[in-house]
């Protein structure tokens, strides 16, 4: 087994043991990008509301809704990363974060 292949398998094993955390990181990164759009849309709708109602809405959306979305999306992201197979786990993880970076660049967030 070549050195590069051995290094890849070691990295894949490291990622596999932390796949739950990696998938939460991917989901949270996506929420950072998409969350801005959602918050802007909600802000337009509630700008005339009373301060307490606006604050409660922000807490509900940011804390509960975004948290629930990340919690529901993370297992699906982990399953998707596992779908491509153990030897490709490093490549798919790098591709996922690169795709998120490209999406952030496209939306002018970086």
Domain count, the chain: 1
Tens digit of each residue's pLDDT (9 = 90 or more) over 31-42: 999 888 888 899
pLDDT per position as a tens digit, 9-67: 999 999 999 999 999 999 999 999 988 888 889 999 999 999 999 999 989 988 898 99
CB atoms within 10 A of CB 37: 10
Domain with 96 in it: 3-106
Rounded to the nearest 10°, the torsion over CA 5, 94, 78, 16 is 30
Task: State how far the Cα of 51 lies from the Cα of 44, in Å rounded to an integer.
Answer: 14
Q: What is the pTM of this model?
A: 0.84
Long-range contacts of 59-67 (CB under 8 A, 24+ apart): 62/35, 66/31, 66/35
């Amino acid at each position: 087994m070549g050195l590069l292949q051995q290094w890849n398998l070691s990295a894949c094993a490291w990622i596999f043991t932390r796949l739950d955390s990696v998938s939460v990181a991917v989901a949270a990164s996506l929420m950072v990008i998409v969350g801005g759009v959602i918050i802007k849309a909600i802000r337009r709708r509630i700008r005339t509301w009373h301060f307490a109602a606006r604050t409660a809405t922000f807490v509900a959306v940011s804390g509960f809704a975004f948290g629930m979305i990340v919690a529901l999306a993370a297992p699906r992201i982990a399953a998707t990363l596992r779908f491509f197979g153990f030897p490709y786990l490093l490549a798919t993880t790098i591709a996922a974060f690169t795709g998120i970076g490209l999406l952030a660049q496209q939306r002018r967030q970086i």
